[in-house]
Structure 1
Amino acid sequence: MKHVVIQAALAAMLAASACATALAQEGGDGKSLFLKNCAACHQPSAKGIPGAFPALAESRFVQGQGSEVAGVLLKGRGGMPDFSESLSDREIAAVLTFVRANFGNRAAGLSEAEVGALRAALGVEPFGSAVMSNKH
């Protein structure tokens, strides 16, 4: 009986691990963060709107230096607002990892630590330290 319980527990752990791996490959929360925060402008297909919002799909910029792409989310650029007060370093890393690995892009993801280090280097306030805002 004890052997059967151990086998069932191992099977459950393997299934949970496979599910987590599948979510990570699909973008997990990076995908949902993209849909919630980026898709309205850049479109769910990431193809953007010519003349208004740049395409993120098959983008040389998106696939370039991770620090440059993360810098846009932390400080904004052109008409794009910054997300430094509305997304944590983990969330910025997740959405960038998702976008850099999907839509025809093939670039390495970013870690929470990399985004945090960039936030500090750029002098952007730590997430959660700003007064509540209704920016996004």
Structure 2
Amino acid sequence: MRKTIILSAALLTAGVTGLAMMSPALAQDVAKGQDLFNHKCAACHQKTGLGVKGAFPALAGDPFVQGDPEPVVRTVLQGRGGMPTFAALLSEEQLADIISYVRQAWGNKAQAVDPGFVAQVKANAHPQDKAPTVTH
């Protein structure tokens, strides 16, 4: 019984911490994220999120996009391969809107991220850090 209570408390604490980093996307934020995506990302990843085979990875249905949000945020902040960095080009709110849109568009079912989480990842990034290498 005691183990169950301790485990329940640990899971509750982890859940509350996770909620502080992520929030459900509001309809207006999704619309802003879609508009920003269409202007900043769709040339490569396509409006459909299907990318261009062999050149630009699909985001639709991608386990990386739907997984842990921290490496996704880092990838958008720091770029990867031919993808440019967006850290200096967009605000944390704009980055959160785009990332939240991508994590919820085209059948993706991941939680939205908030600007505070983007700021936290940005603050914890070291210049020598590179975005993770992921095969798509």
TM score, norm. by length of structure 2: 0.71
CA distance in 2 between partners of 1:58 and 1:23 (Å): 23
Give the SS at the match of 2:103: helix
CA distance in 2 between partners of 1:42 and 1:63 (Å): 16
Identity %: 40
Give the SS at the match of 1:46: coil
Runs ≥4 residues deviating over 4 A: none
CA distance in 1 between partners of 2:41 and 2:27 (Å): 22
The structure with higher relative contact order (CA 8 Å, sep 6+) is 2
Choose the corresponding residue for 1:49, options 48, 52, 58: 52
| Matching of residues 60-71 of structure 1 within 5 Å | 60-71=63-74
Matched, 1:114 2:117: yes
Specify the alignment match of 1:84 in structure 2. 87
Distance apart, 1:22 and its partner CA: 4.3
Matched to 1:23, the amino acid is Q
TM score, norm. by length of structure 1: 0.71
Matched, 1:23 2:28: yes
Distance apart, 1:123 and its partner CA: 3.5
Count of residue pairs brought into register by the alignment: 102
Root-mean-square deviation (Å): 1.2
Question: Which protein is bigger by CA-based radius of gyration?
Answer: 1
CA distance in 2 between partners of 1:105 and 1:70 (Å): 16
Instruction: Structure 2: give runs of 5+ residues left out of the alignment.
Output: 1-25, 128-136
Q: 1:123 to 1:39 in 2, by over 3 A?
A: same
